[in-house]
Amino acid sequence: MATSNEDMQNTKLTFRKYEEGDQDWGGFENKIFKEDTSHKCPTYVHRTPPCQGSCPSGEDIRGWLDIVRGIERPPEGVSMQEYAFRRSTDANPFPSMMGRVCPAPCQDGCNRNNVEDFVGINSVEQYIGDTAFKEGFKFDNSAEMTGKKVAIIGGGPAGMAAAYQLRRKGIASTIFDDHAELGGMMRYGIPGYRTPRDFLDNECQRILDMGNIETRMNTRVGRDVSLEDVEKEFDAVLWALGCWTGRGVPVEGWDETPNCVSAVKFLEQFNKGEMKYTGKKVLCIGGGDTSIDVVSVSRRIGTLADLSENPETVVNGETSHADHDSSNNIPCDQVTLTALFKKEEMTAAQHEVEDATIEGVNIMNEVMPVALIRDDSGRATGMKFADCKWENNAPVAVEGGKEYTVEADIIVAAIGQGGNLDGVEDFNNGRNLMDADNLYRVPGKENHYVCGDIVRPHLLTTAIGQAYIVSETIENDFNHIEMKKRPKVDVHHFKLTEKLHEAGLDPESYDVSQHQEDGQRGTDSSTYAIHNYEDRSAQEIITTEDMFLGHFEYTPRIHRDTDVPSSDEVLGHFAERQLSLEEEKAVAEANRCMSCGMCFECDNCVIYCPQDAVFRVKKDQSTTGRYVDTDYNKCIGCHICSDVCPTGYIDMALGDG
């Protein structure tokens, strides 16, 4: 009996072999055997999943998701939670922070988007990080020290991640930072309800606890200590300054208008506890996560009924609210955020945009600033905007479009950031940034390296990824190792050889003389090599075209609980926004991972092989990536195992010349 239209409409289908318009047969000759001329047999090919390929830190996301779900099993004596923590922090020492605030390009790249919805990678990462905090997990500090010392200028995510990675290589470091506490933008640029300070403090301290990492706080190189003295004391200098100055809005009079300020200063003063109220009418120009933080903070701190001071004075550090009692604060009359793009195209995380709307922020989209409105004293009282569209990489006013006027007591620019290179001007490339080569050396400056926003302002996770690469560069330079080109897919790859070693299954040594004597050029039975396995992870990212999506049932994403106050509740609401998943939910969400490019032990190839050629490896010889094998005496090259492999781990490639 045919399926009714109603049943079809109410069924959540997850896979279609052919889309509308696909009506021509492709050539199957390259896939199936013909009579007795078949020669292709299964090869197990490891490729990088797009979540990891999209992660600027290069985390082995598939790896730690497979650990949480129980596919990859930890060594004896190690819990799932600690093993997942180890794998996650191989690339990124801040799982709690990144699980909360990273805009998650990994989730945009997730292949599960072609089934129903991406895997909640951020939420599982937060679970890993929060569990590590509760369980007191520590970093391995067993690497023997080399005697080398690096000065790291900046204690934000780039500088701290670099100190961590260098210490793992036996290289000591001293972090110089002109703030009182470590954390950089994670502490001074993002409000505490997004980066809870107890978790942030723990993740910073965990790095320091490795030893041989010193700090010199409230110390600015080029002001409090000379660069010459630093160069004499250390073997290398790594610049991880971050970007602490904001770009102004490109309208006439911005720089001369006192109540036009940068988002960086606005948020820094709030996060230092110096700003506890703001103007009655707040206007922020932006569209990214920083602008969302500005308006969300404004809604939380509010203003005063009898406000008499100019709101920019506290932003500029001229006054302080440190001793202010906020119990009598009232909501701001108006908090407005403007963006050049449509709401769904804003660079801020979509859930952050939605949360800001719930909290009472007025968001105006597809409008561009045209002119400041100023009073006789030169202070801004508002700004004019016009409808706009995006053309040739710039906003253009829509011909015949509307114009708008937004009143404001303080106008905040969140449209970009730059560095402050006062005292070290020789490193300024003319754009208040520092130049870097492809290995993050400073061109023309021997023993100087650079990473993070001071190279190009971007995501926290980008800075962390650069910190790993520059740590490898420094180590190689110290050891006089000629630098090679970075891998095409430059991430932290799963290594089957390391997994086999961990399980006590190292391949046997290869005796050249023995195999020359017996004339053997290849074998599927000897144990000196990893049989019928190929690692293409450094060259290829797997797509759903190579996967069997029909294996995956519709499984809704498990969302974290969030504490997002309404517009009536937001004043004084500083509770944490993103709440960690419980273990059961974290495991269930990790189970939605399709393990793209790596076997997840579904048994499809074993079940569907018509010749019983594909078989499970014996348990005492099995590990992740070596779950199944092939008897080539039985294989007829029918390609069924490859067709039904959900993860795209099987190629009909053996025999290709």
Predicted pLDDT of residue 40: 79
Predicted pLDDT of residue 527: 72
Q: DSSP class of residue 383?
A: E
Residue 6 resides in a domain: no
What's the rounded mean pLDDT across residues 353-358?
A: 96
Predicted pLDDT of residue 601: 95
Predicted pLDDT of residue 483: 82
The helix or strand, by DSSP H or E, that contains position 588, with its residue range, turns out to be helix 583-590
- The answer to whether residues 508 and 642 belong to one domain is yes
pLDDT for 594 beyond 60: yes
Q: For all residues of the chain together, what is the average pLDDT?
A: 92
pLDDT in tens, 599-630: 999 999 999 999 999 999 999 889 999 999 99
How many structural domains is the chain composed of? 3
Neighbour count for residue 318 (Cβ, 10 Å): 10
Please check whether residue 222 is in contact with residue 427, taking contact to mean a CB–CB distance below 8 angstroms: no
Please check whether residue 165 is in contact with residue 210, taking contact to mean a CB–CB distance below 8 angstroms: no
- The answer to whether residues 303 and 343 belong to one domain is yes
- The answer to whether residues 194 and 316 belong to one domain is no
- The answer to whether residues 338 and 368 belong to one domain is yes
Give the CA distances from residue 136 to residues 82, 127, 381, 583, in Å, rounded to whole numbers and listed in that order: 10, 14, 52, 17
pLDDT for 565 beyond 70: yes
pLDDT for 124 beyond 80: yes
Please check whether residue 382 is in contact with residue 401, taking contact to mean a CB–CB distance below 8 angstroms: no
Please check whether residue 599 is in contact with residue 44, taking contact to mean a CB–CB distance below 8 angstroms: yes
pLDDT in tens, 300-334: 999 999 999 999 999 999 999 999 999 999 999 99
Predicted pLDDT of residue 95: 98
pTM > 0.75: yes or no? yes
- The answer to whether residues 297 and 357 belong to one domain is yes
What's the rounded mean pLDDT across residues 31-38?
A: 49
What's the rounded mean pLDDT across residues 494-523?
A: 75
Q: Tell me how far apart the alpha carbons of residues 394 and 383 are, in angstroms, rounded to a whole number.
A: 20
Query: Is the model more confident about 629 or about 25?
Result: 629
What's the rounded mean pLDDT across residues 87-97?
A: 98
Neighbour count for residue 63 (Cβ, 10 Å): 25
pLDDT for 420 beyond 60: yes
pLDDT in tens, 509-544: 776 666 655 555 555 666 777 778 899 999 999 999
- The answer to whether residues 273 and 168 belong to one domain is no
Neighbour count for residue 32 (Cβ, 10 Å): 14
Q: Tell me how far apart the alpha carbons of residues 72 and 65 are, in angstroms, rounded to a whole number.
A: 9
pLDDT level of residue 31 (50, 70, 90 thresholds): low
Q: Which domain holds residue 618?
A: 27-47+495-536+597-657
pLDDT level of residue 3 (50, 70, 90 thresholds): very low
Residue 290 resides in a domain: yes
Return the axis-axis angle of helices 263-271 and 289-301, rounded to nearest 10°: 50
- For residue 348, the number of C-alpha atoms closer than 13 Å in the C-beta half-sphere is 31
Predicted pLDDT of residue 528: 73
How large is the C-alpha radius of gyration of the chain?
A: 28
- Percent of all residues in the chain with a pLDDT value above 70, rounded to a whole number: 91
Residue 579 resides in a domain: no
Neighbour count for residue 11 (Cβ, 10 Å): 10
Q: Tell me how far apart the alpha carbons of residues 491 and 57 are, in angstroms, rounded to a whole number.
A: 7
pLDDT for 51 beyond 70: yes
- The answer to whether residues 256 and 381 belong to one domain is yes
Burial of 15 (0-12, 13-18, 19+ CB in 10 A): middle
pLDDT for 566 beyond 90: yes
Greatest distance between any 2 Cα atoms in the chain: 97
Predicted pLDDT of residue 654: 67
What's the rounded mean pLDDT across residues 348-355?
A: 92
Residue 228 resides in a domain: yes
Write out the two tokens for 516.
């020359």
CATH code of residue 440: 3.50.50.60
What's the rounded mean pLDDT across residues 272-296?
A: 97
Nearest one of 198, 193, 270, 280 to 565, comparing CA atoms? 193
Write out the two tokens for 453.
């926003």
What's the rounded mean pLDDT across residues 110-119?
A: 96
Q: DSSP class of residue 249?
A: P
Nearest one of 515, 450, 500, 446 to 478, comparing CA atoms? 446
pLDDT for 194 beyond 60: yes
Task: Give the SS3 label for residue 156.
Answer: coil
Please check whether residue 558 is in contact with residue 585, taking contact to mean a CB–CB distance below 8 angstroms: yes
Instruction: Name the pairing type of β-strands 448-450 and 403-407.
Output: unpaired
